[in-house]
Amino acid sequence: MTSRTATNPSTDAVALRAELRDLYDDYGADLDGGRLDVWPDYFTRDAEYHVIARESFEQGLTHATILCQGLAMIRDRATAIRDLAVHQPRTLRHFISGVRVQSVGERVEAGANFLITEALYDDEPHLLMVGEYLDELVCEAGVWKFARRVAVYDNYRIRTSLVMPV
Amino acid sequence: MTSRTATNPSTDAVALRAELRDLYDDYGADLDGGRLDVWPDYFTRDAEYHVIARESFEQGLTHATILCQGLAMIRDRATAIRDLAVHQPRTLRHFISGVRVQSVGERVEAGANFLITEALYDDEPHLLMVGEYLDELVCEAGVWKFARRVAVYDNYRIRTSLVMPV
Amino acid sequence: MTSRTATNPSTDAVALRAELRDLYDDYGADLDGGRLDVWPDYFTRDAEYHVIARESFEQGLTHATILCQGLAMIRDRATAIRDLAVHQPRTLRHFISGVRVQSVGERVEAGANFLITEALYDDEPHLLMVGEYLDELVCEAGVWKFARRVAVYDNYRIRTSLVMPV
């Protein structure tokens, strides 16, 4: 449990959670909209971005499906995907739920559940990926940024076609 | 990205987004509950209401699955469905995520993702429809109303049984 | 419709809804995280907790899949599940949407939609359960607790493997 146990929950904690809910929703909407040019703006210069299977994550393995260390790698990935994905006949859609704040300090630790649907041009939408964000955020010039975002997915395996960030 | 780039996000913008999140949730809950009598109240007198496939929408086609122009057509549709659906042995459920505000002016442009599950009396729940609301809202006597609501669905095709609004 | 019809929605009503949204998200996150030790803390001493099929619920039947009357039964259930579930190779994930307040009084009546995904160790995530919470809450020493939580699921039938609370 997060802020719930406090008998007089701080207005700031409630406000922070609301701000992060907006941030998480913006992040998902930008990816859904294919706006990969703004995706790196969600990260700090030294940010780490991982997409990793739960099994690997829980065993402490470093075998991540996507592993970016630093903003340069994140930008490279965005560029590479944009070139690949332009004519991709599929639609992804993020559903974010359960935004939560684990701890507040120099870095805010927060998280949320994600569910991503995929619709191909000739098939019905299906669950592409389900999992949990485990994040560390810092506030830079009034804007929340991810210093570390780890997307741990519950799927046993993911399609090799996964190129879009999560 | 919406309000995220502002270094000092306006409290009003944050509050507006929270209000719309409540509105979108109310809208979905009323449809899930089968309260078609209140559904027209979410729209202005001149409102347009469309349900359309992404492919048609992106090609600028006007072939919509549902197309209501003005409140009279919206009310007619509500009445027709209520007559049809009374004994319908299925349950629909809306999941709204990613409520966002694109622009604020005389009309607020906003949107959200929707995921609708359908449960039939003899089968497990499944994804019925996934997509995105593209909306224009105005505030009438203190209540937000849709001047235009376009529900763009990602599904390749939808079942002919679709009669409920989205 | 809930607070939507008010021309000047009370700030308190808006704030209450935001608080409950946080509460519902915390509840889901604790269950997803397997923190069954804190699950009883969400309930009052005399709380009722039901998990029931929509069909049974609408017919007024008392045949519930899970039925706990009072905190002692809720605690017993948490203990029993914790013993069973320790090595369970599956991941559940709650997606809560549409938190709404039906009435405010000594007890607050509220609700929300839930969608729970299940991922097994060797299969893709799927929809395990979809439904609606129907709740009565009271505020005890500044903390919202469920005096009654009824989870009405839309599924025709649920797997006998359901042991986790909803």
Which CA distances in Å does A44 have to A75, A83, B69, C33?
Answer: 12, 24, 47, 28
Closest CA of chain B from C116, distance in Å = 11
Tell whether A14 is within 8 A of chain B (Cβ): no
Asked which of A89-93, A150-154, C119-123 is least confident by mean pLDDT, the reply is C119-123
Question: What average pLDDT is seen over chain B?
Answer: 87
At C66-116, the pLDDT tens digits run: 899 999 999 999 998 877 755 567 899 999 999 999 999 889 999 999 999
ipTM score for this prediction? 0.89
Pair B156, B116: CB distance under 8 Å: no
CA geometry: angle B87, B88, B89, nearest 5 deg: 110
Closest CA of chain A from B45, distance in Å = 30
Question: Among all residues of chain B, which has the CA nearest to that of A35?
Answer: B1
Cross-chain residue pair C26–A2, CB shorter than 8 Å: yes
Cross-chain residue pair A98–C41, CB shorter than 8 Å: no
DSSP per-residue string spanning A5-42: G-SS--HHHHHHHHHHHHHHHHHHHHHHTT-TTTGGGG
At B128-147, the pLDDT tens digits run: 999 999 999 999 999 999 99
Tell whether A29 is within 8 A of chain B (Cβ): yes
* Contact list, A9 vs chain C (CB under 8 Å): 19, 142
* Contact list, C3 vs chain B (CB under 8 Å): 22
Where are the alpha helices (H) located in chain C, listed in sequence order?
11-32, 54-58, 71-85
Tell whether C37 is within 8 A of chain A (Cβ): no
**pLDDT at residue C164 in the model:** 83
Cross-chain residue pair C121–A6, CB shorter than 8 Å: no
At A59-83, the pLDDT tens digits run: 888 778 889 999 999 999 999 887 7
Query: Beta strand pairing status for B90-103 and B108-120?
Result: antiparallel
More confident residue, B122 or B57: B57
The pair phi, psi for residue A34, each rounded to 5°, is 70, 20
Is the pLDDT at A112 greater than 70? The verdict is: yes
